[in-house]
Every structure is written in C-alpha cells, then in structure tokens.
Amino acid sequence: MKKILIFITLVAMFSGCEETEYPYVLPERYFPAYPESYWVYSNGTAVKVDPGYHKHLYYPDLGSIKQSDYVYVPRINNEYVYKYKITQNSTLFPLKILLAPTSSTAWKVDVWNGKNVMRRIENNNASVTLSSLDGAGAIVFDSVVLVVEYIADSVDLPWLYREAYALDIGLIRREINLSDTAIEPFVEKELIRYYINK
C-alpha cells in the first residue's frame, strides 16, 4: 500500500511540473480588450472579445523560423491582442500595430500595390464629439489619440483612414478619406454602445 501511495504522489508531482506558467499580456488603456468586452458601432458592426485569455506565440520577423515566447493574451475573431497590436493572418506582417501613443514616428502596417501602408499619430490629446452614445446625445471625449493610415510617399491623399481612440474605451470613431477632390472625409462608424469587462 505504501508503494502505491508513493507512486501516486510521484506521478502527481511530475505531472504538475510539466505545466508551465506563461505570462499574461494585459490590454492597454486606449485599447482595453479585456475578455468579454464589446463595442457596437453606428454602421451595425460589433466587436466582441472572446472569453478568457489564450496561449499564443507568433513569428515576429518575416522569413524567420524563430518564434516569440508563449504568452496569454485576449482574442478577437481569432486574432490575438498584444496591447496595441494584433496578430495578422499574414506572413508579411505578423503583428499589425494599431496604436502607439508614445510614438512620434510612423510605422508600417501593410503593403498595397507595392507601396508601404503607414500609420502615425496625428494628435495624442484631441477632443472628439460623438453624436449619440447609448442614447445620451452628444458626448465630448478628451485625451483622444488620433491615428491616421496612409500610403507612403502619397501626395494626393493625406490619409485614407483616421481612427480616434478614447482613454479606457478604445476605438470611438473611424473616418474614411477616399478622394483627393474637395469631397469631405466621412464617418464610417461611431461608437454607440460598449462594455469594458475590467
């Protein structure tokens, strides 16, 4: 009986040693993608974070066989969220950097027709007014970070997309600029309802 008890204890100890604890990468304040949080927008789109944190790694460099370390991160539509970055289903850009509030330089997010698609911070302390949030009427958000996406070396279009990120809420507005004429950019979507599950 003693031998069986010792054997069970050893098996339990060794099986417990096999499980490795990986670190958690928690969301940041301008993209608080905590599990089960959601955002609903005026154009009918909704974004919901999957329940729980998910073990993930990725290839950080193009053509490299070296992988990142495993971590636990939130997940949205099978894309893994690393603070202000999400993994891409792309061998070219393993991570798309959505937001870099401390960055004063532009960063590459994609390639289109042989030209680099870039992002940069346009303003890191803007005020943005939403027309209706949860039926409350117009609401002003301060300390908003504005990020523009544009084609590198393009003089015709100053930017293609402009996104506004509010502190502790995330994306509150996305505008599109598809013309180099006098046509004004238009609002593709505005936040109308959200829940942050901190």
Q: How confident is the model at residue 12 (pLDDT cuts 50, 70, 90)?
A: low
Cα(98)–Cα(35) distance, integer angstroms: 18
Helix (H), strand (E) at residue 8: helix 2-18
pLDDT at residue 10 is higher than 90: no
Taking only the tens place, the pLDDT of each residue in 18-64 is: 456 999 999 999 999 999 999 999 999 999 999 999 999 988 877 77
Mean pLDDT of 7-19: 51
What number of other Cβ atoms are within 10 A of residue 76's Cβ? 15
pLDDT at 35: 98
Taking only the tens place, the pLDDT of each residue in 91-111 is: 778 889 999 877 778 898 888
pLDDT at residue 124 is higher than 60: yes
